[in-house]
Amino acid sequence: MKNIILSLSLFFVCSFAEAQIVVKGKIKDKLTSDGLMGVAIIADSRTGGISDVNGNYTLSLTEGKHNLEFKLLGYNPVTRAIELKTGDSLRLDITMETSSRSLDMVVVSAGKFEQKLGDVTVSMEVITPQLVESRNTTSMENIIDQVPGVNVTDGQANIRGGSGYSYGGGSRVLLLVDDIPMLSADAGDIKWNFLPIENLQQVEVIKGASSALFGSSALDGVINIRTAYPTATPQSSIVMYSGIYDNPARPELAWWKNNQNPVFNGCYFFHSQQIKQLDLTIGGNLYDNQGYDMDSPEKRYRFNINTRYRFKRITGLSAGINVNYMDVSGGNFILWSNGNAGALVPLGGSAQQYDNIRCNIDPYITYFTRKGAKHSIHTRYFYTLNTNNTDQKAMGGLYYFEYQYQKHFENGLTMTAGVTMNYSQIVSALYGNHYSSNESAYMQFDKKFFKRLTASLGFRAESYKMDTSQTAFYIHNGKDTLGKVPFHPVMRAGLNYQLFKATYLRASYGQGYRFPAVAEKYIRADESGLEIYPNAGLKPETGSSAEIGIKQGFQIGGIRGFLDVAGFQMLYQNMIEPTFGQWGNPNTDPLFGTGFRAQNDVGTTQITGVDVSLEGGGHIGKVGIRGMFGYTYIDPISLNFNPKVDTLVNSSTKNILKYRYQHIAKADIEFTYKKFAFGLSMRYNSFMVNIDKFFVNPQFAGVLPGIAQYRQEYPNGDIVFDNRISYQLNKRAKISLITNNMFNREVTSRPADVLPMRNYALQISVKF
């Protein structure tokens, strides 16, 4: 008994000697006073904790002196020395200041967690909301087309030449809104006017295959639209604009009478506020465009609401629901009547009229544990309804679920793992009725070694089923087929080494895949005289991309920025492209059964190239400056090129993939002086060497007149300049004049479709 009492006494004395003293406080942004979530608190370089969604933290430390470090990507670290005595309790509030270095810009998409731009192992571009507003962006398509290495052809995104033109069906670029896929259930396409430009935190673009982390359709890359949460100070803004189209460079193209040039008007608004534990964001968009193409107006209204509730009694728990709804109607201009006076007149004299509804509802829940782990559940219901005057109604519903677990370990390792499930149902006169489902599991590890080397390794397995058909994938050993499995395995790996203070070397390899969209497999339609046929036997695309790059930060006087140079190579198998041929009945179908059908006939393709981008900003004396420049060169070829066969469907005898620009250059620069600002943008595309031979074949000149002659008259690349000038009327209001296509160049991004001529817009923005 005495031994037990003695042991208990010793235990009590030792426990008292090591009594824990509580240190707690709140960590805020110095500028906005918002609580900062996810701040790492490190005590004596060994133990610590992490701040919750409100910026609160709690530490238990022993008596004595301690050094505390507060670290968060994108912010300058804060160090505090404290001394604790038995019986004390300490409240220590911290304010943190954002870093001004471009390479410290925080991005999320590379690993589904916050990283410095300089540390990521892939090529990324970032677009800020300031650039979106200053360019009078009416649709996200306009700003994405300004990103180095990216083209948008008739609504279809193309990164580094990975895609050609697919007539609106399918996308090799995965669009995300707040990390959740936003491709429609039926066509698998992107509708840029549906995206919330009024509530942006930033746009992140990943170049290269990213299916290991994001799944199907990330074969070419990823565009992630990240929306903003409210700050401690309520914010509201409204932007109104009105514009007019100028006369075309060739006066005979103007179909309007009596100098009544087409006009466009619009506005968008935004309000965000924290109401105790509730974060609330509301936004909307109205747009009315008479259209520069005949019979092709567009009217739309869109409304969105984002919410997040931060539970007070359960530290680290938050939940919410986001909703976005759009109704849009107008005319769909597909092909011109001819390349002369009818270049802005739709084939047949009238355009297809449509009325589309899109709506997504996104409930979610997130929980941060006291030990720094994160559990999250994201769900989405995405509804689309497309109707037109040709009885081609299509309704699609997509249900999405994702559970993700993420843990940041003390040794610098971050583990991200999750499972996803989605189910799609399509009811359509255009495609027929179909359903599909796919499930996946993924895992990625990101580790920092020696404070300079960042390594990333990820895996994913995904199964896919359309109707009753399960997609199978074949396993090869390089020569022979070993068998098949009901899921597709992919991986990615990357390294980033900080060679000097602002010099980062990186190398990455990623695999990708894409399941064909319902529209590609089952569509049967007449698009302005072009017959499109189904192909139920279409196979999934697979591919990979590898790159090596260097990112160099610099400071020249008051200008800071970085230069990024990357060499890349992308390989694709079973590439899907529309191919012209006789797919229908020659006796009963139009044009003797000829038309376009999605095919895997291209075989193995290879795209090799180099990507250069330069970005920076700062001050030269009293003049502020911010700029972005990019140049991309690609060599897109087929490794199965057969001149005798391929020249039957291609307009060029060269081995070059269709609908690609080999040279792309983009630039945007803005100067500010006192209350004035001036900006200039440039986009250059080289001549599109290869298109479908059907468009230039003399046998079909009566069906699609003028394309061959037009290409002969415009054999060079296209360059377009836009400019903007603004004046800050007072603290809250700004007025801007924007001129797009300032030299009134006549430009086409695909055959038989002329892009907008010079147009002017007057914009007024008010923030309060």
Q: Is 328 left (phi over 0), alpha (psi -120 to 50) or beta?
A: beta
34 falls in which pLDDT band (50, 70, 90)? confident
pTM of the predicted structure, to 2 decimals: 0.86
Neighbouring C-alpha atoms within 13 Å toward the C-beta of 311 = 12
Strand extents, DSSP E, 583-731: 594-599, 605-620, 623-638, 663-673, 676-685, 718-728
Least confident segment among 5-9, 272-276, 373-377, 456-460? 5-9
User: pLDDT at position 474, please?
Assistant: 58
Q: How far apart are CA 661 and CA 681, in angstroms?
A: 19
Least confident segment among 59-68, 206-215, 482-491, 686-695? 482-491
User: pLDDT at position 609, please?
Assistant: 97
User: Is the confidence at residue 567, as pLDDT, over 90?
Assistant: yes
Which tokens belong to 432?
């027929």
User: pLDDT at position 528, please?
Assistant: 64
Q: How far apart are CA 509 and CA 596, in angstroms?
A: 34
Sign for the CA dihedral angle at 152, 153, 156, 158 comes to negative
| More confident call, 669 vs 1 | 669
SS3 category, 766: strand
The answer to whether 205 and 221 are in contact (CB under 8 A) is yes
User: pLDDT at position 197, please?
Assistant: 87
Q: What is the mean pLDDT of residues 155-178?
A: 86
CATH 2.40.170.20 intervals, the chain: 102-767
278 falls in which pLDDT band (50, 70, 90)? very high
Least confident segment among 4-13, 364-373, 545-554? 4-13
| More confident call, 228 vs 744 | 744
Sign for the CA dihedral angle at 250, 253, 256, 262 comes to negative
User: Is the confidence at residue 308, as pLDDT, over 90?
Assistant: yes
User: What is the number of helices (H) and of strands (E) in the chain?
Assistant: 7, 48
- Beta pairing partners, 361: 323, 381
Q: What is the mean pLDDT of residues 373-392?
A: 92
User: Is the confidence at residue 467, as pLDDT, over 70?
Assistant: yes
CATH class of the domain at 102-767: mainly beta
- Greatest mean pLDDT among 161-165, 261-265, 706-710 lies in 261-265
Which tokens belong to 352?
């297809």
Q: What is the mean pLDDT of residues 661-690?
A: 94
241 falls in which pLDDT band (50, 70, 90)? very high
User: Is the confidence at residue 82, as pLDDT, over 50?
Assistant: yes
The answer to whether 657 and 690 are in contact (CB under 8 A) is yes
Q: What angle do CA 63, 68, 71 make, to 5 degrees?
A: 155
User: pLDDT at position 507, please?
Assistant: 96
Kind plus residue range of the DSSP H or E element containing 4 = helix 2-17
User: pLDDT at position 243, please?
Assistant: 97
Q: How far apart are CA 419 and CA 403, in angstroms?
A: 6
- Greatest mean pLDDT among 476-485, 499-508, 525-534 lies in 499-508
Q: Is 216 left (phi over 0), alpha (psi -120 to 50) or beta?
A: beta
Segments in 558-680 forming alpha helices (H): 643-646
Q: What is the mean pLDDT of residues 212-218?
A: 89
User: pLDDT at position 10, please?
Assistant: 40
Q: What is the mean pLDDT of residues 551-578?
A: 90
User: pLDDT at position 482, please?
Assistant: 55
Which tokens belong to 693?
């031979």
Span 412-453, pLDDT tens digits:
899 999 999 999 999 998 888 999 999 999 999 999 898 899
The type of residue at 651 is S
Least confident segment among 2-11, 65-74, 739-748? 2-11
372 falls in which pLDDT band (50, 70, 90)? confident
- Beta pairing partners, 760: 244, 739
481 falls in which pLDDT band (50, 70, 90)? low
| More confident call, 19 vs 625 | 625
Q: What angle do CA 195, 198, 202 make, to 5 degrees?
A: 75
CATH 2.60.40.1120 intervals, the chain: 20-96
11 falls in which pLDDT band (50, 70, 90)? very low
User: pLDDT at position 582, please?
Assistant: 86
Q: How far apart are CA 26 and CA 274, in angstroms?
A: 17
Least confident segment among 7-11, 271-275, 504-508, 687-691? 7-11
Query: In degrees rounded to 5, what are phi and psi of residue 161?
Result: 75, 15
Span 96-128, pLDDT tens digits:
876 655 666 677 777 777 788 888 889 998 888
Which tokens belong to 740?
């797009």
The answer to whether 308 and 286 are in contact (CB under 8 A) is no
User: Is the confidence at residue 6, as pLDDT, over 70?
Assistant: no
User: pLDDT at position 700, please?
Assistant: 73
User: Is the confidence at residue 662, as pLDDT, over 90?
Assistant: yes
User: Is the confidence at residue 194, as pLDDT, over 70?
Assistant: yes
Average pLDDT across the chain, whole number: 87
User: Is the confidence at residue 526, as pLDDT, over 80?
Assistant: no
Q: What is the mean pLDDT of residues 650-654?
A: 90
User: pLDDT at position 687, please?
Assistant: 95
User: Is the confidence at residue 478, as pLDDT, over 60?
Assistant: no
CATH superfamily entry for domain 20-96:
Carboxypeptidase-like, regulatory domain (2.60.40.1120)
Least confident segment among 404-418, 561-575, 590-604? 590-604
